[in-house]
Amino acid sequence: MKLAVISGFLGKLQDRFCGYHEAKEIGNKLDLLGQVKGVTGVELIYPYDFVDLKSLQEGLSRNNLQVAAVNLNLKNDAKWVRGSLTATEASIREEALRWIKEAMDAAAVVGSPRVTVALLNDGHDYNFEIDYQQAWQWVVEGISAGAKARPDRVLSVEYKLNEPRVRTTIGDVAKGILLCQEVAEKNVGLTLDIGHSLYALENPSESLALMKHFKIQPYIHLNDNCRNWDWDLLPGTVNLWDMIEFLYYVKEFGYDDWMTFDVFPSRIDVVRGFNLAVMQTKKLQALTDKLDRDTVRKHIQAGDPVGAWENLFNLL
């Protein structure tokens, strides 16, 4: 199990109302992550984590960390407020594409296999605000051009229903799959964030199965929520059985890539919180491994939920 943490959660955090923890330079963030047992990777934020490349590389080496992904931030800067790849100004769209290409190059520098990007400002708030077909075409063109720039790196698109936009252009797994199919580049994948899937009222296991069916490369973010907002809670603390089923299919489909904690540790100690996340995930995987897979398949093929749940509760 290759576990990582997003670097953005290791320093100062901010929601709409409050600030949490202290700001840290990337070297200090990586030293903090080095205290989390069982985590061997980090998802870095581009461009902010790459300002001091020497400190970054020294921090990775000092803490024996690999880079699971480079997270391209196309949402925080004011210029992206009205869209990045779907901005009506051609100059903004061109700059967004330039950032994608730069992030792909940065991924190569730090040895990351991928760039993940959530196009959260690409969408709309009101009816009659955007040209839906044009917006979709601009996303297709931008992702296609970004992927072609570095065929040796994966460009993984993270879908999310909304925030900060009321509705995002790539809001659920179905739109993500359509995007990948239309782009038709082998190095374009999807980031399956458990919380985003839950919030979109999806079953994360089904979403993973659809990606498997359509031969789309997944990258996984682990967290949890109450299906009413993207709370980024510790995985398995709310939707326990969804997490167990998801880990069952992770193994069933032979997924052996990174699983990265996308957890917002606002009111908890950062190191203790991520140590707990590791423990929870490993214990849930161990519990899932106790399932007899032939028995599970038998109940599924028979459409027998009673037998399936008798089997599940016998684990407890």
Q: How far is CA 61 from CA 1, 9, 41, in A?
A: 21, 20, 11
- Asked if 266 and 225 count as a contact pair (C-beta separation under 8 A), the reply is no
Per-residue model confidence (pLDDT) at position 16: 86
In the chain the domains, ranked by start, together with CATH numbers, are 2-290 (3.20.20.150)
Tokens read off for 158: 């993270």
Per-residue model confidence (pLDDT) at position 37: 98
Tokens read off for 296: 């599970």
Tokens read off for 268: 């908890």
What lies within 8 Å, CB to CB, of 271 at 6+ separation is 32, 35, 36
- Asked if 157 and 168 count as a contact pair (C-beta separation under 8 A), the reply is no
Q: How confident is the model at residue 2 (pLDDT cuts 50, 70, 90)?
A: very high
Per-residue model confidence (pLDDT) at position 316: 85
List, for residues 41-52, the tens digit of each pLDDT value.
Answer: 999 999 999 999
- Asked if 223 and 4 count as a contact pair (C-beta separation under 8 A), the reply is no
Q: Are strands 114-117 and 258-261 parallel, antiparallel or unpaired?
A: unpaired
Per-residue model confidence (pLDDT) at position 196: 98
List, for residues 79-113, the tens digit of each pLDDT value.
Answer: 999 999 999 999 999 999 999 999 999 999 999 99
170 HSE (CA, 13 A, CB side)? 30
Residues 285-307: what's their mean pLDDT? 96
Is the full-model pTM beyond 0.85? Answer: yes
Tokens read off for 9: 């959660």
Please tell me the distance from the alpha carbon of residue 182 to that of residue 178, in angstroms, as a whole number: 6
Whether 315 has a pLDDT exceeding 90, the answer reads no
List, for residues 57-68, the tens digit of each pLDDT value.
Answer: 999 999 999 999
Please tell me the distance from the alpha carbon of residue 51 to that of residue 49, in angstroms, as a whole number: 6
Q: Is the peptide bond before 113 cis (omega within 30 degrees of 0)?
A: no
List, for residues 148-194, the tens digit of each pLDDT value.
Answer: 999 999 999 999 999 999 999 999 999 999 999 999 999 999 999 99
Per-residue model confidence (pLDDT) at position 183: 98
Per-residue model confidence (pLDDT) at position 126: 98
Read off the amino acid at residue 101: K
Three-state SS string over 173-224 comes to HHHHHHHHHHHCCCCEEEEEEHHHHHHCCCCHHHHHHHHHHCCCCEEEEECE
Of residues 106, 95, 116, 108, the one with CA closest to residue 43: 116
Whether 78 has a pLDDT exceeding 90, the answer reads yes
- Asked if 183 and 140 count as a contact pair (C-beta separation under 8 A), the reply is yes
Of residues 278, 260, 273, the one with CA closest to residue 222: 260
Residue with tokens 């979109």: 200
